[in-house]
Amino acid sequence: MSLYLTLKDQLLKNILEGSYGSGSVLPTEHELCEQYGLSRVTVRKALDELKKEGLVSSVQGQGTIVSHRRGGFHSSLDLIALVAPVHSPFFASFMEFFERAAEENGSLVLFKQDFKGSALHSDELYFRFMKKNIRNIVLWQQTERIDFELFSRLRAIGMNLVLFDQMYETDVADVVCLDNHHAVVSLFNEMRSVYSGKIIFIGFGGMALPSEVLREQAFMEVSGTESGIYTIPWGHDIETETIGLLERLRVDHILPAGILCCNGPIGLAAARYLRKHGMDHLPLAAIDYIPEMAEYPMMAYRQPMKELAEKAYQRLAVQNNHGEDWQARSFQLRGEVIHFDT
Amino acid sequence: MSLYLTLKDQLLKNILEGSYGSGSVLPTEHELCEQYGLSRVTVRKALDELKKEGLVSSVQGQGTIVSHRRGGFHSSLDLIALVAPVHSPFFASFMEFFERAAEENGSLVLFKQDFKGSALHSDELYFRFMKKNIRNIVLWQQTERIDFELFSRLRAIGMNLVLFDQMYETDVADVVCLDNHHAVVSLFNEMRSVYSGKIIFIGFGGMALPSEVLREQAFMEVSGTESGIYTIPWGHDIETETIGLLERLRVDHILPAGILCCNGPIGLAAARYLRKHGMDHLPLAAIDYIPEMAEYPMMAYRQPMKELAEKAYQRLAVQNNHGEDWQARSFQLRGEVIHFDT
DNA sequence: CTAGATTTGTCCGTATGTATC
DNA sequence: GGATACATACGGACAAATCTA
């Protein structure tokens, strides 16, 4: 590879890592010459490339600074990268709707597998996206920690971002997610209307999932107590952990109780457990709809996957088309309660 | 978009569709001017771009022709597109190993969802890949029909291709797949060594899957008869269809028999059926390993997913590095028989 | 072999819109 | 606001290579 391309890559890397500090002023051309042992022509050629791609801009007598866009980047929606844990059971549905929306508008969707949020903590992935001029990203991340500093830098140099299933609002990206509060409250009230006993919540421990936090909060709010929240560890086998938890609850006489599960697999595991132990009559509800649930007397909160996917695509289009006028927004979409009465 | 870029896209589209006939000679610059109502400068600029990217070449006094490489294309392995049915149960394992191999060598892997092979029949997808300069493709396709003409054109203009799980040999792509013959013969012989009765094969009807054809052939060969092959329709619910088939076989007194299943889900469905009807003692085997199989007395043929994935990546690297010297090869890798004795 | 037609390669000048100085 | 540079686009002219009659 030519010297100026190597330097260009290096500068891009530095920009993404935030090495150029708060003012975002690059070293002068002269300094770069000395640092990398290159002639001024080569340095200028590298900077020219970055300017062409809109990553930096330079003012005579002042220096070269990293771009600091706040709005959307007017590029093409040809290609969208969807960063997600591909094997999450609900990815299939989201993916299908998202891809359909994208293809109807002539966009190609490529997926980047993200094992448990690891992709989010590395600049490396975004460095590669920028190198390949992939500037439209939808992120479905399953960790609570997000490097907003990095996202801010990405936005500044011209990357369009949409976060899916994310609890924080931010001004660097649109956020599209389920109305978790509505989901929990709806299910709780439906259960309460047919059952006057204790209702407990089963979620994931360690607050690994952003939506989990919101669901727990909503449950505390609607139930008026913190005592009914139980968790299984995140990342382990859900079936095993749920059964283990329910067994302990039964021994401790916390069961019988109504059970509100924070997601589908937990709900299904609970349904099987209840049937096996003759506790079918207890009200059971879960966020997320899984076809197999129809075999059990339970409730599910179906996420509006189609609407979520279409909204995510639409916001990416807005960022592309409205450029500087774009302003980050957050969207909570509501699903619906489904009753399975067998 | 500028006129010359529009023309460039149009020409690329025509090239991929094979519109320029056998000789692959593009219209003259003058003809293109008339056809599209553009000046010669604009036409030449579009052609220049295509030349730069290696898609066409022109000789003074002769004309412009579409490139006709036969070897690999020396590009960068930065980005690899893996076209596959993402939700195939075995994709997860292949994907994981492939991505690991790729990341160890600094390549980024992006997935393109391919619903039942539809992506293969459209030039559109490859057109987009070329537009984005994505020139390394691994294809895991689940249909028997492949447009080798298209692949040949893709190879000619500089796309590197590896086919996974494919039965045909071709000189335009490397092929990496399971040694299907070895799989069927190994399982058959293991069953025969403990069971002297009739052994039947359950596969998919309609020959939808390339590997399916090979597995049926191998079974006919090793069993010495065509009569023991039964099929369920491809694309329907495997569990339901398998149970339906076995029920018919039981009524027709074809069961009891040893059962060799062409894939894992069929094997699991059969295992459940046999247990339910007290036929646990019948020998049962399946190609593909699924953890849940451990709960039943059966055999599985574990595909060498790691080796398959690494080989696929390695061949892509060969196509990149060896350029014109590369020659297409086909690789059949062997797995191993696993016994579950409960 | 030559002459002429064809086709690409390389100039020239002109004009416009945009971004930068 | 004027000057400059650059990318895009058009028209024309001629040179150089190639093919064909």
In this predicted model, what pLDDT tens digit does every residue of A233-251 receive, in sequence order? 987 889 999 999 999 999 9
The least confident of A320-324, B97-101, B143-147 is B143-147
Residues ≥6 apart with Cβ < 8 Å to B148: B168, B170, B172
Nearest nt to the B37 alpha carbon by C1': D10
Report yes or no: A113 at the B interface, CB cutoff 8 Å: yes
Nearest chain B CA: its distance from A315 CA (Å) = 22
Query: Quick check: A81 and B111 CB within 8 A?
Result: no
> Average of pLDDT values for B72-77?
92
In A196-320, the DSSP E strands lie at: 199-205, 229-233, 258-261, 284-287, 298-302
- Is residue A137 very low, low, confident or very high in pLDDT (cuts 50, 70, 90)? very high
Residues ≥6 apart with Cβ < 8 Å to B30: B40
Separation between the CA of B237 and the C1’ of D19 (whole angstroms): 63
Using the predicted structure, report yes or no on whether residue B167 has a pLDDT greater than 80. no
> Average of pLDDT values for A181-204?
93
Nearest chain A CA: its distance from B112 CA (Å) = 5
pLDDT tens-digit map of B226-285: 788 999 998 788 999 999 999 999 999 988 899 999 999 999 999 999 999 999 889 999
How many other β-carbons are positioned within 10 Å of the β-carbon of residue B305? Answer: 21
Q: What are phi and psi of A101, to 5 degrees?
A: -60, -40
Cα separation of B218 and B200, whole Å? 13
Report yes or no: B285 at the A interface, CB cutoff 8 Å: no
> Average of pLDDT values for A145-159?
83
Cα separation of A154 and A330, whole Å? 19
Using the predicted structure, report yes or no on whether residue A189 has a pLDDT greater than 90. yes
Separation between the CA of A61 and the C1’ of D1 (whole angstroms): 21
Q: Say what the pLDDT of residue B180 is.
A: 94
Q: Say what the pLDDT of residue B146 is.
A: 76
**Residue A78: its chain B contacts at CB < 8 A?**
128, 131-132
Query: Quick check: A95 and B113 CB within 8 A?
Result: yes
Using the predicted structure, report yes or no on whether residue A23 has a pLDDT greater than 70. no
Using the predicted structure, report yes or no on whether residue A283 has a pLDDT greater than 70. yes
**Residue A74: its chain B contacts at CB < 8 A?**
none
Mean pLDDT of chain A: 87
SS3 track for chain B: CCHHHHHHHHHHHHHHHCCCCCCCECCCHHHHHHHHCCCHHHHHHHHHHHHHCCCEEEECCCEEEECCCCCCCCCCCCEEEEEECCCCCCHHHHHHHHHHHHHHCCCEEEEEECHHHHHHHCHHHHHHHHHCCCCEEEEECCCCCCCHHHHHHHHHCCCEEEEECCCCCCCCCEEEEECHHHHHHHHHHHHHHHCCCCEEEEEEECCCCHHHHHHHHHHHHHHCCCCCEEEEECCCCHHHHHHHHHHHHHHCCCCCCEEEECCHHHHHHHHHHHHHCCCCCCCEEEECCCHHHHHCCEEEEECCHHHHHHHHHHHHHHHHHHHHHCCCCEEEECCEEEEECC
- Is residue B208 very low, low, confident or very high in pLDDT (cuts 50, 70, 90)? low
Cα separation of B81 and B73, whole Å? 15
Token pair 């299908």 is found at A96
- Is residue B116 very low, low, confident or very high in pLDDT (cuts 50, 70, 90)? low
Cα separation of B315 and B77, whole Å? 11
Q: Identify the top-confidence range among A210-214, A314-318, B83-87, B235-239.
A: A314-318
Query: Quick check: B132 and A78 CB within 8 A?
Result: yes
pLDDT tens-digit map of A62-80: 778 888 778 888 888 999 9
Q: What percent of chain A has pLDDT over 90?
A: 44
Query: Quick check: A111 and B112 CB within 8 A?
Result: yes
Nearest nt to the B39 alpha carbon by C1': D10
Q: How would you classify the pairing of strands B56-59 and A336-340?
A: unpaired
Cα separation of B281 and B270, whole Å? 13
